[in-house]
Structure 1
Amino acid sequence: MPRKRTPDAHDRILDAAGGLFDRYGVHAVGMQQIIDDLGCGKQLLYREFASKDKLVVAYLERCTQDWDRTFARALAAAATPEEQLVEVVRAVQTMVPGTRGCSLRNTHAEFPDPEHPAHQVSLEHFKAVREQLRELARRTSAADPDRLGDRIMLIIDGVYASGATLGATGTAEEAVALARDVIRIETSLPVAESEIPADVR
């Protein structure tokens, strides 16, 4: 009779593998390196994940769950859909691991074969995120909410790309300001007095 999956071992393996994948990239990390880093036996690793592909897919699925939680927190942090879009951009800085940017984007680039499960999981994630942002934008007064959603996604992409090289905090501040500008233009919102520089009031 096959042994049942052990949730604690499953999560510990994902923690170890995820840290290595985020630091070095998926292709650069072998199963033996994960075993050595975790200090577990090969039998345990392969009992929880029968292949590296299955481990990578589980890693990506965990990343998508992290995004969903971050998105939900951003929605809860603001009262209006316009401000919720801004909060989503602000929240992205917390999801830039190490110096390599977005785990899902990096893995998507490492697996260009459209038939590979890692490629499929990451691509489906990006489609879902795009629809999340578009749906949120549809709650605003934007004349073209889908365009607004797509522009916010481009800003988020920029945070991941530039945050990895320039630092997430400073990049996020500029990204938030840019998001506000884009939303204001797309929805024709007036500029709040607090956002006008004192020397031009």
Structure 2
Amino acid sequence: MSATTTASRGRGRGGRERILTAAATLFATQGINATGMEQVAEAAPVSKRTLYAHFRTKSDLVIAHLQGLASSGATMESVLTREDIPPRERILGLFHQAAPDAAPVRGCPFIDAAAEFPDPRDPVHSYAREQKLRMVRLVTALVTELGCREPAALAEQLVTLADGAASRAMVLDDADYGRHARTAAETLLAHALPDSSPPHHEAGRRA
């Protein structure tokens, strides 16, 4: 393909979407830092001028990529906002990862991005942190709705389990690894839920 043809396609409709699609594939297969902007432009395909017209810096591109993931419903946090399932099942849904089709298991994209941009002041790291803080806020709201004791502390324990399970699932390439953390989460929830059974002495009097 000639440079003229590539530039023409880049100026056409859908250039931004093609850039984000190409970036998502490259980031997933070889990592963010290992992916150059020229690679993204070539894979899109768009001219470098078009690429930088949409995304002035690589950080802008990475954040747009993460924002797309956050709004797509494809991240593990997305289950927390589903109103078609009960609060407890939303929480336990954090520990389920869809099995990939002959592809490596991916961990949490926000943790991955923060690891590749380790400076806490970096815009990418800051965005990843915002998503992780949002995650714990959502879980706190759900365990509060369930009537759990000490909801803030419980939410931190649950999201720590979920993030740890996602990371280990990626390292071990085991999409079902979350089952171990789910069992622990069920135990935490059971102990935190109010005891709905009557006290022993009251039960005896009623009998």
TM-score, normalization by structure 1:
0.78
1:113-160 CA distance string (max 9 Å, x none): 232211111111111111111111111222111122111101211221
Residues 26 and 40 in structure 2, CA contact (< 8 A), matched pair in contact too: yes
Q: Residues of 2 paired with 1:95 and 1:51: CA distance?
A: 33
Q: Residues of 2 paired with 1:114 and 1:84: CA distance?
A: 30
**Structure 1, gaps ≥5 residues long:** 191-201
Identity rate, percent: 25
Q: Residues of 2 paired with 1:60 and 1:170: CA distance?
A: 24
Which of 1 and 2 has greater Rg? 2
**Which of 64, 77, 81 is the aligned partner of 1:72?**
81
Residues 159 and 168 in structure 1, CA contact (< 8 A), matched pair in contact too: no
Residues 104 and 173 in structure 2, CA contact (< 8 A), matched pair in contact too: no
Q: Residues of 2 paired with 1:164 and 1:110: CA distance?
A: 15
Give the letter aligned to residue 141 of structure 2.
E
Residues 107 and 169 in structure 2, CA contact (< 8 A), matched pair in contact too: yes
Number of the residue aligned with 1:193: none
The structure richer in helix per residue is 1
Number of the residue aligned with 1:113: 119
Residues 23 and 99 in structure 1, CA contact (< 8 A), matched pair in contact too: no
CA drift of 1:188 comes to: 5.4
Q: Residues of 1 paired with 2:195 and 2:40: CA distance?
A: 51
**Which of 132, 140, 154 is the aligned partner of 2:146?**
140
**Which of 72, 86, 91 is the aligned partner of 1:85?**
91
Q: Residues of 2 paired with 1:7 and 1:130: CA distance?
A: 38
CA drift of 1:34 comes to: 1.0
Paired residue total: 181
**Structure 2, gaps ≥5 residues long:** 1-10, 197-207
Q: Residues of 2 paired with 1:111 and 1:134: CA distance?
A: 27
1:129 equivalent to 2:135? Answer yes
Could you say what secondary structure the match of 1:170 adopts?
A: coil
Q: Residues of 2 paired with 1:139 and 1:47: CA distance?
A: 45
Residues 22 and 98 in structure 1, CA contact (< 8 A), matched pair in contact too: no
TM-score, normalization by structure 2:
0.76
Could you say what secondary structure the match of 2:176 adopts?
A: helix
